[in-house]
Amino acid sequence: MDKDRFPMAPSREPNPLRPYYIPPSIGPKPSVSASQTPAIGRTSAPRPSASISSTARDLFPELDLDLKSTTSEAWQHTRSLFDTLAWRYTSVLLAQPFDVAKTILQVSLPPASTVATPQKKKNAQFAHGSSRGRGSRYEDETEDSDSDRSDDIPDYFTATAPRSRSPRKRRRTPPSEDLSPSPTPRPRNRKEQDAVEDYKVRVKKPDAIMHAISALYNTSGAVGLWRASNTTFLYSILLRTTDSFIRSLLLAILGLPELPGPDQGGLAPGLSASGGAGFSGIDLSDSPNAIGSLIVVGLASCLTGLLLAPLDLVRTRLIVTPLSTPPRGLVQNLRRLPSLVAPSNMWLPTALYHSIPNIFSAATPLFLRRQMLITPELAPILWSLAAFTTSLTELFIRLPLETVVRRAQLSTITKAEPQTQLVVDPAPYSGVWATVYSIMYLEGETTTRAANGMLRTRRGQGAAGLVRGWRVGFWGLVGVWGAGALGPGDVKGRPGEF
């Protein structure tokens, strides 16, 4: 065959004379024929240099490499990761003052007596005030004025006490008290007491988050409201990542299918954006063994909480100690721990705190789907209301367990370091059920004034002592649920998501 009449094309396109022959892609390229060699004296245009993507495509045509799209996709994933981390850190900063105040209320010993006068009884007291004697009214006014005046009287035993030239009303005391000698504290003890008063938080209203925030601001300033922010951010990231890893590992060992995890951009633990994927973001509806998957969810949460318990212990220590107490770094506090394994007295409360709320949140949508026949596709509004109710119930399940865990952590801190300075008077911890009983029936006293003027004292804080900070959590759930309910009704192809 004459090569001048039938030149061979160097490309990999099929030859019209041999349509079923494809030249091999691996090997030396065919030599250039003499007819294709440019004649002497002719100037040929320089060939553009081949790019990296075209060279890789020529060398490995079966791989179908597209470096430009791959680089763009990697950059998008990296940017999405940084956006998620920035969003979560901002969320931690916004919620940290409320979280610090809630922790302070959970671990502090309530005041010995609190006078509570209902509004109806107070109105009835004013209505029957004319029938009461002048002596009883004078006694009530004296008690109120003495209680108000006792808080405003400065300490005149110090050398820098202010001197008042105006006459001051003083409460008359019995002669025995006047004649009794009043011990004058030494200056060194007075200085130590003043130093303690500088960082001590006096919680007069054990059920008010804003009062605790105000007390923290008065003692430690605005910086004290954001203490342990970095530790809280790191703990939240590791908690979610470790939980997903352990859950996937257990499911693979048991031969169960993978469960969709919670939304990575979730706004709250109980309202994780996906109405079809369950209230906690874990979908058990397609699992062939729902009970086994539910047990795996609880076991993974339990193991995650126990593994990260030392980090949570450091976070609590940074919250309950003054800002002047060293060390304040995360690594230094981890090194001060006797072991990176949680103490034995924290195992049970930590396991209950991390497993029970997650099991409840994952099992409720499964019950609604299979027993109540309520799905987000058939009844999106009813499903959304059920999601809000479940999240609110999970909040009231989580708060008592969190209170017990915080007290167990504070007990561990005081036992390991007896000389540690605390910003509050620590409440005792004596086991899970004993602590719950002590909070409800033993700690603190509440004095109620009836309509007839009688004072009734009741010991214990009741159920309200177990759910400190529930108002902040409630309004947070209302805000997230309301924002989702006002949004579009069809997101990601699933109706009823919020």
* CA-angle at 430, arms to 199 and 114, nearest 5°: 55
Is residue 391 classed exposed, middle or buried when 0-12, 13-18 and 19+ CB atoms within 10 A define those classes? buried
* pLDDT tens across the length of the chain (498 residues): 555 555 554 556 667 777 777 766 665 555 544 444 444 444 444 454 445 555 655 665 555 556 566 677 788 888 888 998 999 999 999 999 999 999 999 999 887 655 554 444 444 444 444 444 444 444 444 444 444 444 444 444 444 444 444 444 444 444 433 333 334 344 455 555 555 567 788 888 888 899 899 989 998 888 989 999 999 999 999 999 999 999 999 999 999 888 876 543 333 333 333 333 334 567 787 788 889 999 999 999 999 999 999 999 999 999 999 998 888 889 999 998 888 898 999 999 999 999 999 999 989 888 888 887 888 888 888 888 888 899 999 999 999 999 999 999 999 999 988 888 999 988 999 999 999 999 999 888 877 787 887 888 888 888 888 999 898 889 888 888 777 767 554 443 343 343
**Residue-level pLDDT at 277:** 32
The full length of the chain comes to 498
Say how far apart CA 189 and CA 422 lie, in whole Å: 18
**Residue-level pLDDT at 63:** 59
What does the block give as tokens for 208? Answer: 């008010």
Say how far apart CA 77 and CA 33 lie, in whole Å: 49
Residue type, 476: G
* Residue 424 DSSP label: S
Whose CA is closest to 366, among 265, 295, 273, 264? 295
Q: What is the dihedral angle through the alpha carbons of 119, 459, 474, 267, rounded to the nearest 10 degrees? A: 150
Say how far apart CA 471 and CA 370 lie, in whole Å: 32
Contacts 24+ apart (CB under 8 A), 276-279: 276/376, 276/377, 276/494, 276/496, 276/497, 278/361, 278/362, 278/365, 278/366, 279/361, 279/362, 279/364, 279/365, 279/387, 279/390, 279/391, 279/394
Whose CA is closest to 337, among 262, 261, 427, 412? 412
Say how far apart CA 106 and CA 403 lie, in whole Å: 5
Q: CA quadruple 79, 81, 87, 90: dihedral positive or negative?
A: negative
Report whether 322 contacts 199 (CB < 8 A): yes
Say how far apart CA 113 and CA 212 lie, in whole Å: 18
Say how far apart CA 321 and CA 414 lie, in whole Å: 11
**Residue-level pLDDT at 68:** 64
Backbone dihedral region for residue 107 (phi beyond 0: left; psi -120 to 50: alpha; all else: beta): alpha
Backbone dihedral region for residue 13 (phi beyond 0: left; psi -120 to 50: alpha; all else: beta): beta
Whose CA is closest to 410, among 53, 107, 7? 107
Report whether 232 contacts 297 (CB < 8 A): no
The CB density around residue 447, as the number of other CB atoms within 10 Å, is 14
The CB density around residue 216, as the number of other CB atoms within 10 Å, is 22
* Residue 286 DSSP label: T
Say how far apart CA 465 and CA 487 lie, in whole Å: 36
Give whole-number Cα distances, 343 to 71, 337, 352, in Å: 47, 10, 15
What does the block give as tokens for 261? Answer: 């995890």
Strand 455-459 versus strand 445-449 pairing type = antiparallel
- The DSSP-derived string for 165-224 is -S--------HHHHHSPPPPPPHHHHHHHHHHHHH----S-TT-HHHHHHHHHHHHTTGG
Whose CA is closest to 107, among 420, 378, 380, 361? 420
Token look-up 């708060």 returns 399
The CB density around residue 474, as the number of other CB atoms within 10 Å, is 15
**Residue-level pLDDT at 393:** 93
Q: Look up the pTM and report it.
A: 0.68
**Residue-level pLDDT at 107:** 92
- The DSSP-derived string for 305-331 is HHHTHHHHHHHHHHHHS-TTSS--SHH
Whose CA is closest to 102, among 394, 402, 392? 402
Say how far apart CA 423 and CA 474 lie, in whole Å: 27
